[in-house]
Structure 1
Amino acid sequence: MAKSAIQKIAMNPSENIAYDKLVLSQQNVRRVKDGVTIEQLAEDIGRRKLLQSLNVRPVLDGDGEETGTYEVPAGGRRYLALGILVKQKRLAKNEPIPCIVNRSGTTSAEEDSLAENVHRENLHPLDQFRAFKALKEQGLDIQEIAARFFVSTATVKQRLRLASVSPKLLELYEKDEARLEQIMAFSISNDHARQEQVWERISGNPHMQEPYYIRRLLTETTVRADDRRAVYVGAEAYEAAGGVILRDLFEQDSGGWFQDAALLEQLVFDKLKLDAETIRADGWKWVETAISFPYGHTSGMRRVYAEPAELSTEEIARYEAVKAEYDALDAKYAEMEDADQEIEDKLDQLGAELDAFSDRPQVYDPAQKAIAGAFVALGANGQLQIEAGFVRPEDEPRVETGDDDEEAEGGDCDPSQSDDDSANHVVVNGRSVNGASDTAEEPEDEGIKPLPDRLVFDLTAQKTLALRNALASDPDIAFVTVLHALVLQVFYRFAKDSCLEINMVSNSLSQVQGLADTPWAKEIADRHEAWDRDMPESNNLWEFLLGLDEASRKALFAHCASLSLNAVVEPWNRRPGALAHADVLAATLGFDMVTAGWEPTVDNYLGRVTKARIIQAVREARGEDSAQLIDHMKKDLMAREAARLLVGSNWLPEPLRLEGDAAVDAGETIPEDAADETALDGDAAELPAFLADTASEEPTIQADEAKDHLEAAE
């Protein structure tokens, strides 16, 4: 049987038809204006001419004959764009237009119009990225590319950045094995090896493939641009030193990330050194610099403060003249019935001049600066934070005590010793005298000799008891006396001018990172500085305290007493009675850490415990369903999500709970493998034994040993 012949396809011919012979077909299916506007398409045709012919059909008369006019069912937007060019006289009316003429009649005009739009495949985004990159390599700048394709320069930068991602990752995107959002996240870094390393880390776990997590991994060794160090150095200086700033063109990045943390740190220290030299040149004995100092770094130092600069004779005369003029004009204006703008302006002018006298610069005494120094650190906003006027103990001026004779005699003596006149020494009424026996006969012709030490001891012992009794009968003066002793230790450090043998200990807590940035530390520091500025010389302190009103005296007493409070749990220093009293005190004050503003964060708790502890915290605060949302996550991501879940939950870890607060449910236990999570996570840390829940883990202490521990603690 003969094989049938395959019918060959005959293409519609291409003809150049004058524009004024073309009309828009009413059978064009496109009705909704979409995509590139007609005006932009006209500009593009004007630049690069027509890239695609029009699809046309001849218009027939009643007898079926061609009329010489052609309708355009497919390519209507190009036809309209050409019409704009004709109106602008950039194109002749009879300009020949390339057209494909369909005379076959095998398909309708509507079908041709629909087929042209439906069968069109949009360009894959990756092809567009690469095309923009090719244009850039051909010499076109970003602005020119943006102008030619009617997009913003930011869009061009984004496309070029995406095209610079690792070819391996772009290939995965081309195969739909990676999402566009992921490629956008990878574009933060220009390190292809690092990009591929991160992909290997996340590719096996769908929960780790979110764009925000990719960005976090790519920037985990960088420093954010809003970090105090980056703000202090500045992007310009960092880049001038060869540093690279990573930018995210697709999300708000607050200035990006400084890639080279080591370089940034070096620039910080170099700049701090220069700033310190400038400050030291102002007359300070020493200047210490650091990015941040630990809490309590000024402990043990006295502080001196600047005072307003003294007015010169001319300034005093000017102040009195302005004040007199202001008072006279103010009194005159008060008697006037109608407002006078001229007088009001004059009063404002005089008032501003008086304020300038009050707000004159404050200066330090040069003699004080010669023994004092300053701490220079970076504030949270990246600006220099200068704490000046601190005097180290070794720099304190030496006070002559008049004890040279005493030292020559061999130092202090035991008041209980007997009557060896040559060995005794006592200070009476501020004078250093040699003691004498109270039983030895003294020749009358030698005059009155100093009292023996033993007699002085006996007499002053009686005075001490009598004074104790008198002080006990006057609670108000007793309060001032104790306050006097506390203030000496808090504000004067080494002054020994109190007759009370009261010693106050204040733990600096300097080993805790970030403690100085807490709101409680800042409130205490502000309150302490306010009182410190008001303190007189130590020898005038008693009169100063007596002159305070009762409320101020109580406030100062509370401030000093509060600095001795210590509720820190330390494994080597067990103080069960003291810690129990801290809870009782908190209950009396109506205090709890939630009200004080504490919330669990990655830094202060969640990032420092095991995964089991994190899950336990979420379970206690939000329930089992919330705990199951995070139990599959890696440690660092789990901590971040837990912090988000615990916001507003009022949850507290065991060491911050007071007696009666909700504790861990008795039926809930830590999984047996919790102890191994430190090794598994790599960066997790076990809780110290003294904070562990399980009673069996506590070391067994015999009764006698427990008694010794308690006595030692007391």
Structure 2
Amino acid sequence: MTTFEQQVAGGDHGIAGAASAVQQRARVILAHATIGTAAHAQFVRSPRNVRRKPADRSELKALVRSQGQLQNLICHEEIIDGVATGKLVVDAGDGRWQVIGELIAEGALPVDFQILYLLVSEAEAVVVGLAENLGRAQLHPADLCEGMLELAHAGRGVADIALIFGVPELTVRQRLKLAHVAPALFALYRDDRITYEQLAALAVSDDHAAQQAAWDGLSPWERQPARLRRLLTAHALPLRDDPVMRYVGLKAYRAAGGLLTHDLLSEDGDGYIDNPALLDSLAQAKLEKLAKRLGREGWHWSAAQPRADAAMLAAYGRVRKQRLAPTPEQLAQLQQLAQRAAALERRADGEGDEDGAIARQLADIDIAQGRIRMALERPDPDDMALAGVLLTVGEDGKACLLRGLIRPQDKARLRKEEKAAAKPRGPHSERLTHVLRAQRTLALRAELLAKPEVALLVLAHRLISAVFLDTHAAGGAVQLEVRAPSLPEAAQSGPAWDRWQAQREALLAALPQGGAVALMAWLQRQPRAVIDDYLAFCLSCGVNGLRDGGHGADGGDGEAGDEVAALARVVGLDMHAWWQPTARNYFSHVSKGRMMEVVAQATSAAQAAPLEAMRKEAAAEAAERAVAGTGWLPEVLAGAAG
């Protein structure tokens, strides 16, 4: 028996403490008992004998055979339907009575052998029987549980039983709870085929059929206590961890007729909510009262949902934000804040910031910048016409108001409106458009390699934008972090790619060994032209012409597309020098109808007509031949044609 099992079986005293308390009470009872003798046939065995697990009586039998009865039995008069039968019920000493019977049957003792006994009342019999058995071989914990149950059946209250055993009343309730588990399962516990933890898990329910079904429905290796408890409480909610219960309040739930199942055998005295539907309805009513007070906020709708999980919330849309251009005053404020932040950072680098004063000032500046940026955002008016507020219960057990949501049905309507207002889909798939933009990126890189003066200009542009205009490099045509965008494998070929790779290999081969320290010394010895080459190459690595998507596959998104176009103009990009449409890089990736359209644009409808009867592969090759030398470029590249 585990230490925890002993503590639950007998409080902090364990079985030894229970034995001491029960034996003390038994001594008081026996001091007033009546002593007598009777023949073996006058006794009957008690159906409530405390020790249910058979014990080895061979030594006891040998002792009685050689020395006779050395200790009396404890009995009470048998009364059936209020009438004494003349029989004596053996409440303690059942083993001695049985071995005397065996010895009489074997002829070792006479038939009229007189057996010594003490007579007590039926109510006192269980206490005296427990006291005697506790003084002999150690009882099984199941015997203690059933002993308490017998006292309860005899009319003893929890407080009286706790006093008899010298344990807290909670321990008595726990023992009685265990004793009420389905008899077949309790018998397995007595035979040590069920652990205490498993029995405690089964006791969370009072339904014997459910207990047996939970046990029988699992294989032996699946009968973990937690698994059994989950099966028996599947209809209920944990009391301690439920945020809706904290929101409604236990008092309000009980006042509405809600019931709880207390798990007396859990280490923290946890319990379960028996009527989750009632609890949720109380939370719903409470949230709806709160929703009425939100009417003045002017939302299109309001709804209460006590339990809103992540999957449910994911079905709702969110009101989009529109970015406003800063006013001259706001722009000036942002520049002043950026200058103050830069001055504080320089001061911290030089003087340090032991007391954290500079860090606090920088935090205040960051908050001020955030407020200005928030002022430059406003909800989309079309979205706001559909938006509402959802009231739910948060994990902290408090009301949570989720404003600016768009219901799933309205979200579908919004998508239809967006689709109707969207630009028509271009002739290229998203994949092909991505590859073409990658080719443009490579061409911009290759052009920058030959124009260090432009690279320096672009670098200055990005630095000034970041420091003075409070814009971020990650969204522009050049990334200051020099994180080269991932280009699709299909774009990693052609003149621009070859030019860029050749320059990379040449510059890499010229670098000194020895890391960053050696590099600085090496750079100081190089002429300006060499440094310009490295500057142009490194800056070109950050060129990103991929961020040019919009509503359609060939669309533009405004600011990012404008920066790419501006960079193309500065470097004098002419895509004719870097890319020509072929069957492999273009025509095999578009429809036959698109091939005919391109050939007609580049040459004439007469040359496009034969393609209709060809297989796609042959048509792609014919289209390549037809447009060769015409200077035709797809729309996504035509703006960079020079």
TM above 0.5? no
Q: Which structure has the higher relative contact order (CA within 8 Å, separation 6+)?
A: 2
Between structures 1 and 2, the one with greater helix share: 2
TM-score of the pair, normalised by structure 2: 0.35
Provide the TM-score with structure 1 as the length reference: 0.32
